[in-house]
Structure formats: structure tokens, C-alpha cells
Amino acid sequence: MDTSRDPDRIARMLLESAAALVRSTRAAAIVVDVAALPPLHAVPRDTVLVSRRKPKDPPDPRIEALRPSAKAVISVPDADLDRMGQIRLAAIIALSERILDLDDTAIFLAGPRDRPADSLSVVSLDSDLELFDTSGQPGLGEHIKRAVFHRVLTLALELGQYGREGRRVGTLFVVGSHRKVLEHADQLILNPFKGYPESDRSILDDRMAETIREYSSLDGAFVIRGTGVVETAGTHLKAGVAEGLPPGLGARHAAAAGITAVTRSIAITVSESGGVVRVWRAGRIVATFEPAGR
């Protein structure tokens, strides 16, 4: 039988291979988007199911059916990423939620959006995810709430995917160490967040998402506390450019590199030209999310 013409069969074989690899390598988990699985009644007990549904969406019957046999279920931003982007995103969320540890190895299944899995990757998280390298930096969760990082990354991925009202936008978020960040900043415009109570400026408030999208086309950066309070928008960062900035990246990326080189912050950039989302720490790119098909 020609299995190349049967995507569900290929996905089922990959899942069986992943289960065998978990046993032989003592990997911590199989990580797979539920939409990439063939029809199943159960999954191997070490499987982490990835869902792209929003928290307020109605329950997904398929996830609920597979949940009892799975290790865990995680939710990731609904972005159409290439295979490596899917893997990085799922790994970052699983690490942030402490479902996986940095010294773990995990088996990731990936494929085209909403299609059965067609590839298998064995990932050593400590060497493949520099975002969680805490050398000279506080660990994520110590100075930036994990929920805040999730929300900012989600907003960045949505802007990269869909833009603002159908128009591509480029923007920069700087999260954490906000006092130090603001020492290296000038305000390009009147700060639209000045004077509002902190409770009304939390990135974790669903109502803030549209406000962030509205101001995303402004020149300059958003500066956000590690607790999620938005301090400023339209902010010019004056920190010098970190060494080793990849060629072809412009002023927004230079600002991200520079500010994270001199402060204990994390920056997230959205490229206007291609919707690529990059995460910066300690002056360098630690994760890149490329939209699928670009």
C-alpha cells in the first residue's frame, strides 16, 4: 500500500514511532497539535496535546475525548507558523507552564495547519531554546509573569499574522525591568497610557488587546512591566545597538537588541514586511516565528 497517499496513516505511524522513541530514549513527552492527529480514541500517556482554541471558546469534543489518556493539554496562540515555529511555540508554552523542564528531551510532531502530522523532531530543550537560558539573566517567571509573556507573545503573533484591519504593522514590545528601560527612552508622542489606573492598563485584561492593536502602528515601543501593566506606547529607545545584529534587520530590531543588552528585559518584535515575530534577550534573538508559506 502506498502510504504517501494516506496522510492519516502517516500521522498514525509517526505517533507510534514517537511512542517507541519515548520508551527507548526516556524522552519526557510527545507534543502534538490535536488537529494534526488522525482519528483516535486515545493517545500515548506521555502525550501533551496542543490546542489553538481560545480560553473562552466552547470545549473541543476531540480534546475532551483524548484528555483522559493525555499527559496534559496546553493552549497556544492561533498563528499559522512553519513547522519549526510550531515546535518552538509549543515548547515555550509547555516550559512556561512547567509541563516540561529545561533538561528534558521531547518528541514533537508537526505538519501543515489543520492537516495530519507529517514530520517528527527530537528536541533537547536546554540546547534548542535559548529563551530559557538564565545565564546572567533572571529566570522567566522571576521578573516577568508567565501569563504576561504568553499574552504579549500572543498579541505579537496575531499582529504578525493578521496585522491591523488587514494592514501589516511592525511593532516592538519590551517587557520587564521597566524603570531601567525607561532610563534609556524618550517619549515620541504624548503617552496614551499616562494617568490611567494600573488596573485599567493590564495586558492581562481582555479589553486591552484592542487598545494594543490600535496603538501598534505608532512609531516606537510599548514598555510593559513584568506584572503586565502597560507603561508607555510610542517610546523611542536610545540604547546602543548590541554587537552581532543579523544583517537586513532595521531600527526596530536594533532597538530590541540594544535595550535587552543593557537591561534585564525581553523584547518581542513584529516585522512589518513579513510578519516575522522575533524574541530578544541579552542583546540577541532567542526565538523566531516565521509565518507558514513565507
Task: Give residue limits of the domains in the chain.
Answer: 3-128, 146-289
pLDDT in tens, 240-285: 766 667 777 888 999 999 999 999 999 999 998 888 999 998 888 8
- β-strand pairing of 171-175 with 221-224: parallel
Q: Which residues of 106-134 are buried (b: 16+ CB within 10 A; e: fewer)?
A: bbbbbbbbeebbbbbbebebeebbebbee
**Whole-number Cα distances in Å, 187 to 173, 229, 232, 237:** 15, 17, 8, 9
CA pair distance 208, 25, nearest whole angstrom: 44
pLDDT in tens, 156-167: 998 988 877 778
pLDDT band at 30 (very low <50, low <70, confident <90, very high): very high
Does residue 68 surpass a pLDDT of 90? Answer: yes
Q: Which of 44-58, 100-114, 140-154 bottoms out in mean pLDDT, i.e. has the lowest?
A: 140-154
Higher pLDDT, 143 or 289: 289
**Whole-number Cα distances in Å, 58 to 53, 54, 205, 281, 289:** 9, 9, 20, 36, 27
Does residue 64 surpass a pLDDT of 80? Answer: yes
Task: Name the DSSP letter for residue 280.
Answer: E
Domain 3-128 has CATH 3.40.1380.20: yes
Assign residue 130 a region (left: φ > 0; alpha: ψ between -120 and 50; beta: otherwise): alpha
Which CATH superfamily, name and number, covers 146-289?
Answer: DNA integrity scanning protein, DisA, N-terminal domain (3.40.1700.10)
Does residue 102 surpass a pLDDT of 90? Answer: no
CA pair distance 106, 100, nearest whole angstrom: 8
Q: List the grid coordinates of 181.
A: 528601560
Q: What is the pLDDT of residue 131?
A: 61
Give the mean model confidence (pLDDT) for residues 12-40. Answer: 94
Taking the CA atoms of residue 90, residue 92, residue 97 and residue 99 in that order, the dihedral angle to the nearest 10 degrees is 60
Does residue 135 surpass a pLDDT of 60? Answer: no
Does residue 291 surpass a pLDDT of 90? Answer: no
Q: Which of 48-57, 182-191, 283-292 has the highest mean pLDDT?
A: 182-191
